[in-house]
Chains A and B, each alone.
Chain A
Amino acid sequence: MGSLFRSETMCLAQLFLQSGTAYECLSALGEKGLVQFRDLNQNISTFQRKFVGEVKRCEELERILVYLVQEINRADIPLPEGETSPPAPPLKQVLEMQEQLQKLEVELREVTKNKEKLRKNLLELIEYTHMLRVTQTFVKRNVEFEPTYEEFPSLESDSLLDYSCMQRLGAKLGFVSGLINQGKVEAFEKMLWRVCKGYTIVSYAELDESLEDPETGEVIKWYVFLISFWGEQIGHKVKKICDCYHCHVYPYPNTAEERREIQEGLNTRIQDLYTVLHKTEDYLRQVLCKAAESVYSRVIQVKKMKAIYHMLNMCSFDVTNKCLIAEVWCPEADLQDLRRALEEGSRESGATIPSFMNIIPTKETPPTRIRTNKFTEGFQNIVDAYGVGSYREVNPALFTIITFPFLFAVMFGDFGHGFVMFLFALLLVLNENHPRLNQSQEIMRMFFNGRYILLLMGLFSVYTGLIYNDCFSKSVNLFGSGWNVSAMYTSSHPPAERKKMVLWNDSVVRHNSILQLDPSVPGVFQGPYPLGIDPIWNLATNRLTFLNSFKMKMSVILGIIHMTFGVILGIFNHLHFRKKFNIYLVSIPELLFMLCIFGYLIFMIFYKWLVFSAETSRVAPSILIEFINMFLFPTSKTNGLYTGQSGYTLIRKESEEEVSLLGNQDVEEGDHQVEDGCREMACEEFNFGEILMTQVIHSIEYCLGCISNTASYLRLWALSLAHAQLSDVLWAMLMRVGLRVDTTYGVLLLLPVIALFAVLTIFILLIMEGLSAFLHAIRLHWVEFQNKFYVGAGTKFVPFSFSLLSSKFNNDDSVA
């Protein structure tokens, strides 16, 4: 029961760290994750703290490492991940490491810069060759005239009008050619037309290959264009427009010969560049490969170092400036380990004076620490999601381990579905060490973290499924039904016994579509089914009426037991916090109220079940009306459940009044008691009015809450009904259709039907319904159960631990 029932006892310890050994001590503490540091420098801003320079250095190292990782990823070199996490680097190595990394960064930056330059060069040359090749086709038909282009022979057909005037002006024909981004072509052409007023001729061709943009590195489609224009002025404008649209402009060869020369030159240069580029890339790869070997451990080391300095920034200096003082919360059970870690740290740094600690008494509330293992972690998380428990308060997680899966199963009760869920969870549990599951994302991770909850939920569902006798909405007849139809026939009874009984004969059976079995006829009902609901109910038309009555009563009974248990747990809290008056004045009246009203309701339910048999069932009174009458005191006599019932009612009424009166007195008396307590603690000013108000509100809230919470437990019935009905509908809509087809072709149809049935079962009944039942079970625990005793106003214990750190790092890394 120990640690899960209550959070651990904590103590505030003061660590005196010799300034020479502080780093090593913290490193040792971080590896163990024993203590939570308190910030002693809260009013000093981040950059004025003692170790800000070191933190800056760590950040600088981090920046370099991020750059390295980025480059390594870009080069597609696998990052080896070390299994063990290396310890924080000794201070002597840090400088060395920094130097190494800086050198590496400079080298890498230079090589990549060279590489980029070469690449850009290469791209430009490739673009140029493409352009030359494409533009050739623009003017091919005029090849023979090319040397004499100045007389515009090529344009004769295009612009006869301009021809003469142009020649008169003696303007020169110029060409601008280059490549332009596909998306900008249209705007470019428009702008050209508007600025140059048509004194240009633009020809385009799309490049078949997509080329990389030298600036952004994106692979996009390009257009090759050739602009022919007249006159200097326009030429300037055209060039400016080309600049504006970031065109890559290349000189346009005037003659065919020139073109050929350029092309040849380009080809050789491209060849050269390729070889150089390859060599550079090989070198870069070598450098990166070497860096990749150590980068993982470096990243972790730097992270640890930074964390240590952050913690050191929280410490204050003592007067002599020789030693750092840290205040930590530590579980009492771990104090030995803490001492040992400090010794270890001191020994490692070879200091003459060891660091030591002493425990200081405190009145502050310590953080809540509840040790969990992989099994209890999930349940603790459910409770923590509502609120982290106050220090040393009863932890509902312990009871949640059983009650949560049980309440879930009440809603999810189906043998088949529960078994599937159990198998899935079992699969997760058996493979929990599989690395892929450990690092899975999002939804899968959710299932993985809750695998033990799922396991228990599945198991309990199997159990409730057996009780409900539901397996994929069908009942299983294991022991043989307790009902016998043939006993209803006239012929099976001797005539002497037939008198009072309504029995069947052939004509009755033939003419009625619905027949009712009468349990009061001897031989029809041979005793209850050994386990759960009799399978014959699966065939009955009044099945729902029967199950509803059963499930409704069951959920009220379960709910009241659950809530009463919550109130009883409250007593444990009061005992622990030495508030005895609260037991007499709060818990016992609460229990009385709960048991006298709702406990009595349960009693009535059981009483009616036990006392009234099949013969007397017709005279049995309604529990509901009896219950209401208990409050209203009707003048007219009803026939109660048992003799002397009215007496109980009267007594109850009186005690009721008494309790409520008492409650008021309680409050006042309670207040005086509280007063004494407060004086001792001397922390809060006693305010009678305020406490009276909260107590009155609490009493009212509790009384109303009991009624509404009891009603709230009816969701157990509602959801279990919905689940059963939904699976029934699924069976009727799919499997029954599939099974009804005749034997020859039935198999062919049955296969897809079963597949569809399986898919729908998993997605609708298991996942969707399971989720809703899960949520309702959570609600029942958070609201109905925990509000009876759980305050949940604590803060979680967050130890300074490297293990929390490195797992976080892995995520960051995968994102980067």
Chain B
Amino acid sequence: MLKKLFVYAQNLTRIGFYLISDLKIHLQTTDYGNFLANQTNPLTVSKIDTEMRKRLCGEFEYFRNHSLEPLSTFLTYMTCSYMIDNVILLMNGALQKKSVKEILGKCHPLGRFTEMEAVNIAETPSDLFNAILIETPLAPFFQDCMSENALDELNIELLRNKLYKSYLEAFYKFCKNHGDVTADVMCPILEFEADRRAFIITLNSFGTELSKEDRETLYPTFGKLYPEGLRLLAQAEDFDQMKNVADHYGVYKPLFEAVGGSGGKTLEDVFYEHEVQMNVLAFNRQFHYGVFYAYVKLKEQEMRNIVWIAECISQRHRTKINSYIPIL
């Protein structure tokens, strides 16, 4: 089943492409079929990207329209992360005085909602909550971040992380309460997601004015690192100290060791690889909701791979074409 669903990037790179239109012909032989048939020439990477996103969005809508409770709640939870990203993106755009239309094009279609475009009216987080997001699925995640601070870049970043934190916690709780195989499959994936966020927050906060106490409040309060690891992470001051923390955990030790190794992988790549592995494993079980999550995430990874390859082709960086994240 997996073989049929996903385009293997290996197949894409093994055969040499010289033009993006060659890629198009190759994609025709896969599950994607003729989705680029009606695009006028010349084909660009962004056209491929938007078409693929549209396709994924259509598939997701299909799942959603045919879902019953509690699957529909589960699917709503899945869209929330994209919604948070979109809201933050729009607010950043408003800060830089960009036009809403321009940013709307960059928003992920899965996280689209009607009130989204009015986000730039708000000046403080509580404004944002009271006026705009109160009726969206994002509303419950706002409990921690009601403040009257003006929205500058740092505050927006804080807001994003706080929102993410409460979102992940809520999603985790939902999956845990659902129990059964869904919990078995989803909890490890979400735990990894939480830990990854903790690492990334720590990494990004080096050299900023974020205090260690504030940093700790941003960590999601579950996952393998919780609570001791998080306390240690909050004290970390550079990458090596972070790595020391990770060394205490059997899961993360090999990941950190792989960083910078063969092929110059970044921490992000390593995390992506691990995520792909976990998502692939979700397909081994039956009768659970995790497959929907895994399917969307893997499809996204596949899209990133295709976009990466297409970029490499169009910018003639043929040497880097192999540094995508292999699915399986």
Q: Which of B21-29, B179-187, B224-232, B264-272 is near enough to bind chain A?
A: B21-29
Q: Which of B109-124 contact A (CB under 8 A)?
A: 114-118, 120-121
A46 touches B118 (CB 8 A): no
Chain B residues in 8 Å Cβ range of A240: 118, 120-121
Contact B25 A244 (CB under 8 A): no
Which residues of B line the A interface, CB within 8 A? 15, 17, 21-22, 25-26, 28-29, 37-38, 40-41, 100, 114-118, 120-121, 130-132, 134-135
Given A46-B25, A47-B26, decide whether A191 and B38 contact each other with a Cβ distance below 8 A: no
CB distance from A663 to the nearest CB of B (A): 44
Q: How far is the CA of A241 from the CA of B38 in the complex (A)?
A: 35
Across the interface, which residues of B come within 8 angstroms of A815, CB to CB? none
- Min distance, Cβ A421 to any Cβ of chain B, angstroms: 41
Q: Is the CB of A184 within 8 A of B26?
A: no
A59 close to B (CB within 8 Å): yes
Q: Indicate if A52 sits at the interface (CB-CB under 8 A).
A: yes
Verify B100–A243 contact, CB threshold 8 A: yes
Closest B residue to A190 by beta carbon equals: B135
Q: Taking the complex as formed, is A375 at the interface, i.e. its CB lies under 8 A from any CB of chain B?
A: no
Check B114 against A195 for contact (C-beta < 8 Å).
Answer: no
A187-B131 Cα distance, complex, nearest whole Å: 11
State the CA gap A241–B118 with chains docked (Å): 6
Name the residue on B nearest A245 (C-beta). B114
Residues of B near A66 (CB, < 8 A) are 38
Question: Contacts A194-B134, A195-B131, A245-B114 known; A46 to B26 CB distance under 8 Å?
Answer: yes
Knowing that A47-B17, A195-B132, A244-B115 are A-B contacts, what are 11 other residue pairs whose CB atoms are under 8 Å apart, sorted by A's residue number?
Answer: A45-B15, A46-B26, A46-B28, A47-B25, A60-B41, A66-B38, A187-B135, A191-B115, A194-B132, A195-B131, A237-B121
Q: Could you list 29 A-B pairs, sorted by A, with CB under 8 Å?
A: A45-B15, A45-B26, A46-B29, A47-B17, A47-B22, A47-B25, A47-B26, A48-B15, A63-B38, A184-B114, A187-B114, A187-B135, A191-B131, A191-B132, A194-B130, A195-B118, A195-B121, A195-B131, A195-B132, A237-B121, A240-B121, A241-B121, A243-B100, A243-B117, A243-B118, A244-B114, A244-B116, A244-B117, A244-B118
Known A45-B26, A190-B135, A243-B100; judge A63-B37 contact (CB<8 A).
yes
Interchain CB contact under 8 A, A59 and B37: yes
For the complex of A and B, the 7 pairs showing the least CB-CB separation, nearest first, are A244-B118, A244-B117, A47-B25, A47-B22, A195-B131, A194-B131, A45-B15
Q: How distant is B115 from chain A, measured CB to nearest CB, in Å?
A: 7
CB distance from B135 to the nearest CB of A (A): 7
Interface set, chain A 231-275, CB cutoff 8 A to B: 237, 240-241, 243-245
Closest residue on chain A to residue B132 by CB atoms: A191
Residues on A with beta carbons closer than 8 Å to the beta carbon of B15? 45, 48
Chain B's closest residue to A239 (CB) is B121
B25 touches A191 (CB 8 A): no
Across the two chains, which residue of chain A brings its CB closest to B94?
A240
How far apart are A241's CB and chain B's nearest CB, in angstroms?
Answer: 6
- Chain A residues closer than 8 Å to B121, beta-carbon distance: 195, 237, 240-241
Residues of A close to B114: CB separation below 8 A: 184, 187, 244-245
Q: Give chain A nearest CB distance to B89 CB in angstroms.
A: 15
A187 to B22, CA, bound (A): 47
- Tell me if A56 is interfacial: C-beta within 8 Å of chain B: yes
Residue with the greatest number of chain A CB neighbours at <10 A, chosen from B41, B114, B134: B114
What A residues does B134 contact at CB under 8 A? Answer: 194
The smallest beta-carbon distance between B7 and chain A, in angstroms, is: 14
Looking across the interface, which residue of chain B has its beta carbon closest to that of A109?
A: B40
B131: chain A residues within 8 A (beta carbon): 191, 194-195
Chain A min CB distance to B206 (Å): 37
Chain B residues closer than 8 Å to A244, beta-carbon distance: 114-118
Give the CA-CA distance A239 to B264 in the complex, in Å. Answer: 50
A residues 36-86 with Cβ under 8 Å of B? Answer: 45-48, 52, 56, 59-60, 63, 66
Q: What is the bound-complex CA distance between A432 and B65, given in angstroms?
A: 44
> Shortest CB–CB separation between residue B131 and chain A, in angstroms?
4
A341 to chain B, nearest CB (A): 30
Q: Name the A residues within 8 Å of B25 (CB-CB).
A: 46-47, 52, 56
Closest A residue to B122 by CB, please name it: A195
How far apart are A294's CB and chain B's nearest CB, in angstroms?
Answer: 22
* Measured CA separation A422–B121 after assembly (Å): 76
A45 CA to B21 CA in the complex, in Å? 14
CB distance from B83 to the nearest CB of A (A): 15
Contacts of B120 in A (CB 8 A): 240
Q: List chain B residues, Cβ under 8 A from A241.
A: 118, 121
Q: How far is the CA of A184 from the CA of B113 in the complex (A)?
A: 12
| CB of A415, distance to nearest CB on chain B (Å) | 50
| Chain B residue with the shortest CB-CB distance to A187 | B114
- The docked-state distance in angstroms from the alpha carbon of A238 to that of B132 is 13
B34: nearest residue on chain A (CB-CB)? Answer: A59
CB-defined contacts of A45 to chain B, threshold 8 Å? 15, 26
**Measured between C-beta atoms, what is the minimum distance from A24 to chain B in Å?**
26
CA distance A122 to B115 in the complex (A): 29
- Indicate the member of A47, A52, A190 with the most B CB atoms within 10 Å: A47
Q: How far is the CB of B133 from chain A (nearest CB, A)?
A: 10
Query: Measured between C-beta atoms, what is the minimum distance from B300 to chain A in Å?
Result: 26
Residues of B within 8 A of A46 (CB): 25-26, 28-29
Residues in A with CB closer than 8 Å to B117 are 243-244
Alpha-carbon distance between A161 and B167 when the two chains are bound, in angstroms: 43
Q: In the assembled complex, how far is the CB of residue A44 from the closest CB belonging to chain B, in whole angstroms? A: 9
Given contacts A191-B132, A244-B114, contact A56 B21 (CB under 8 A): yes
Q: For A63, what are the chain B residues with a Cβ–Cβ distance below 8 Å? A: 37-38, 40
Contacts of A191 in B (CB 8 A): 115, 118, 131-132
Kindly list chain B residues whose C-beta atoms are within 8 Å of the C-beta of A60. Answer: 41
Name which residue of chain A comes closest to B119, CB basis. Answer: A244
Query: Which chain A residue has the least Cβ–Cβ distance from B17?
Result: A47
Q: How far is the CB of B279 from chain A (nearest CB, A)?
A: 28
Residues on the A chain within 8 Å of B29, using CB: 46
User: Which of A48, A52, A60 has the largest number of chain B CB atoms within 10 A?
Assistant: A48
- A128 to B130 Cα, complex, angstroms: 33
CA distance A652 to B115 in the complex (A): 89
Q: What is the minimal beta-carbon distance from A158 to any residue of chain B, in angstroms?
A: 23
**B22 cross-chain contacts in A, Cβ below 8 A:** 47
* Closest CB in chain B relative to A450 CB, distance in Å: 33
Taken together as a complex, chains A and B put the C-alpha atoms of A60 and B15 apart, in Å, by 24
CA distance A237 to B132 in the complex (A): 12
The CA-CA distance from A147 to B130 in the complex, in Å, is 37
Nearest residue, chain A, Cβ from B38: A63
- Residues of B contacting A245 with CB < 8 Å? 114
* Complex CA distance for A521 and B121, rounded to whole angstroms: 109
Interface 1/0 per residue, A277-302 and B, CB below 8 Å = 00000000000000000000000000
Nearest Cβ on chain B to A324's Cβ, whole angstroms: 21
Q: How far is the CA of A740 from the CA of B297 in the complex (A)?
A: 73
Residues of A contacting B118 in the complex (Cβ-Cβ under 8 angstroms): 191, 195, 240-241, 243-244
**Bound form: Cα–Cα A240–B118 in Å:** 6
Q: Output the nearest chain B residue to A66 by Cβ-Cβ distance.
A: B38
Shortest distance in angstroms between A534's beta carbon and chain B's nearest beta carbon?
Answer: 61
- Chain A residue numbers with a CB within 8 Å of B40 are 63
Give the complex CA separation of A245 and B134 in angstroms. 16
* Across-interface contacts of B37 in A (CB, < 8 A): 59, 63
Q: Which residues from chain B contact A52 at a C-beta distance below 8 Å?
A: 25
Q: What chain B residues lie within 8 Å of A187 (beta carbons)?
A: 114-115, 135
Give Cα A59–Cα B134 distance, bound, in whole angstroms. Answer: 49
**Complex CA–CA separation, A190 to B41 (angstroms):** 45
Name the interface residues of A183-200: CB closer than 8 Å to any CB of B.
184, 187, 190-191, 194-195
Q: How far is the CA of A66 from the CA of B15 in the complex (A)?
A: 31
Bound Cα distance from A241 to B40, whole angstroms: 35
CB-based nearest B residue for A70: B38
Chain A min CB distance to B160 (Å): 21
How long is the Cα–Cα vector from A191 to B133 in the complex, in angstroms? 10
Of listed B37, B100, B120, B131, residue having the most chain A CB within 10 A: B131
Bound Cα distance from A45 to B15, whole angstroms: 8
A47 to B17, CA, bound (A): 9
Contacts of B115 in A (CB 8 A): 187, 191, 244
